Structure 1
Amino acid sequence: MPKVRLGVALVMPAPLDREIDTLRRATGDGTLGRVPPHCTLVSPVNVRADRMSDVLALLRSAAAATRPLRVRLGPPTTFLPDNPVLYLPLEEGAAEVRALRDRVFREPLARPHTWPYVPHVTVADEADPQRIAAAQVALSEYRTDVVFDRVHLLQEGPGRVWAPIADFGLRPPAVVGRGGLPVELWVSTVLDPAATEFSWREWQVLGLTELGSPLPPERLAISARRDDEVAGVATGWARAGVAQLASLVVATGDRGQGIGSRLLASFESTAASMSCCRLATRVRVGSQGHGFLHHRGWAEEVRLGDWMDGREFVQLRRDL
């Protein structure tokens, strides 16, 4: 069975990520460009590919039991003489980060300890000791605050480049349909591997005739799960006060049970929380999606003749 190399981290949010990368560049960090600035929760570990669903379930459970972490990073220090690493320690929030780490450091992500766990943000790895000492003096007054609102699962790719493949908001999922068929709605910036696989599989089942060409994952992603299985997804992005709905797909066997309506409602409320005042999307004229959105208050803006694969599409909008 093939294995994937995974890590779990609190990835530095914008705009602080650029500030930390500036420090990394100034101190000669060799991982700059290959690893985003972060606070490690689980160091790189090889996991069998067929355990990915277990990894995702573990991280969803841990994230649901955690709230956003408010952290203060202090002046840089080092692991010398044991390890030539320059890092920013956690002056505040370390206990909460350790608690989250305890929730995620379990099978199949648990691994033998090389060093005791110290929550920190690496500035320079394998650095020259003299450069470390100089940086400690120059940055002796450096402090900054950061709020981590999600935990990321990263995977190592070609060239030893690490990239997020899933993220989990530090809050419980919205549960709708209580008393009937409960569905959990998870809002993230990218579909996790299981939801991505589901999306592509359903696109193929439904065929291009109904839905057109699939769109890539975007910055706003919501997955609906029932009994820990993906039942539907909605993806899109938000920019300049407009949220674009890129795709909304429900499993064939779960249609007609309100999951699509709940995904759409979650997408709309999330867009509103991002200060969007308008929603937009494009669907094929006469498709199920066209009727679905029309009955939920989406109005036609313009028709796009021969817009994709010789088919007529319509641009819809809904004001929030």
Structure 2
Amino acid sequence: MGTVTLGVSIAVPEPYGSRLQQLRAGFGDAAAHGIPTHVTLVPPTEVEADRLPEIRAHLSAVAAAFRAFRMRLEGTGTFRPLSPVVFVKVVEGAEGCTRLQGELRDPGGPLVRELAFPYHPHVTVAHGISEEAMDLAFTTLAEYAAEWVCAGFALYEQGSDGVWRKLREYPFGTGPTGVPAQQGSPADEAAGTARPS
């Protein structure tokens, strides 16, 4: 049956998502139009296609037990020189993202994988372009700010054309049975304790 390349992420909602995508393309990042603006939870992961039902069930279970939390983006950061990336910082909601990605990559689950770098939630706005263009992205978005309530995440598949397409959304607190999530779930705690850093 072959393999598929999957990713799990929190979409940056409109109008912020399209605007950041346009800016990323404007900085000269050719990949911008194939990558919806997002905060990564599970990075690109190649899996056997016949494992998709198991993966979907896992994502549903994780989402069902999670609660919505506030997300706020503000200012820019970079992973240079370690990695050629400029990003918009997640200043509120980082703890919720970190807990969520940990549950999605649970050692007992179907999406277990090692990360190349420690998890650091962010929104990429430039990747692998010239240093001058990276500097421009860093300064252009230095005063950028956006906020919303994160109420779920989505599963994406990368096509042979390199474009990422959404397969399904997973709203928080609505499992297969429609039973609301219990109070005191990890995201409740994250929402209550996350502070701008």
Q: Is the TM value for this pair above 0.5?
A: yes
User: 1:86, CA displacement in angstroms?
Assistant: 1.0
User: 1:7, CA displacement in angstroms?
Assistant: 0.6
Question: Does residue 111 of structure 1 match 2:104?
Answer: no
Task: Give CA deviations for 1:212-241 in whole Å, capped at 9, x if unaligned.
Answer: xxxxxxxxxxxxxxxxxxxxxxxxxxxxxx
User: 1:172, CA displacement in angstroms?
Assistant: 3.0
1:90 corresponds to? 90
Once residues 69 and 20 of structure 1 are traced to their aligned partners in structure 2, the CA distance between those partners, rounded to angstroms, is: 21
Once residues 114 and 143 of structure 2 are traced to their aligned partners in structure 1, the CA distance between those partners, rounded to angstroms, is: 35
Of 143, 157, 160, the match for 1:158: 160
Once residues 124 and 87 of structure 1 are traced to their aligned partners in structure 2, the CA distance between those partners, rounded to angstroms, is: 7
Aligned amino acid, residue 31 of structure 2: T
TM-score, normalisation: structure 2: 0.83
Once residues 126 and 151 of structure 1 are traced to their aligned partners in structure 2, the CA distance between those partners, rounded to angstroms, is: 26
TM-score, normalisation: structure 1: 0.52
Task: Give CA deviations for 1:237-263 in whole Å, capped at 9, x if unaligned.
Answer: xxxxxxxxxxxxxxxxxxxxxxxxxxx
Matches within 5 A, 1:19-34: 19-34=19-34
Once residues 22 and 142 of structure 2 are traced to their aligned partners in structure 1, the CA distance between those partners, rounded to angstroms, is: 16
Q: Which runs of 5+ in 2 are unaligned?
A: 180-197
User: 1:23, CA displacement in angstroms?
Assistant: 2.0
Aligned amino acid, residue 131 of structure 1: A
Q: Matched residue of 2:177: which SS?
A: strand
Task: Give CA deviations for 1:85-126 in whole Å, capped at 9, x if unaligned.
Answer: 111111111001111111111332122221111101111111
Q: Of the two structures, which has the highest relative contact order with CA contacts closer than 8 Å and spacing of 6 or more?
A: 2
Structure ID, larger Rg = 1
User: How many residues are paired up?
Assistant: 177
Q: Which has the higher strand share?
A: 1
User: 1:185, CA displacement in angstroms?
Assistant: 4.1
- 8 Å Cα contact 1:156/1:162 also seen in 2: yes
Q: Which runs of 5+ in 1 are unaligned?
A: 174-182, 187-320
Aligned amino acid, residue 14 of structure 2: A
Aligned amino acid, residue 143 of structure 2: E
Percent identical across equivalent pairs?
A: 33
1:135 corresponds to? 137
CA RMSD after TM alignment? 1.7
Aligned amino acid, residue 27 of structure 2: T
Deviating beyond 3 angstroms after TM superposition, the runs of 4 or more aligned structure 1 residues are none
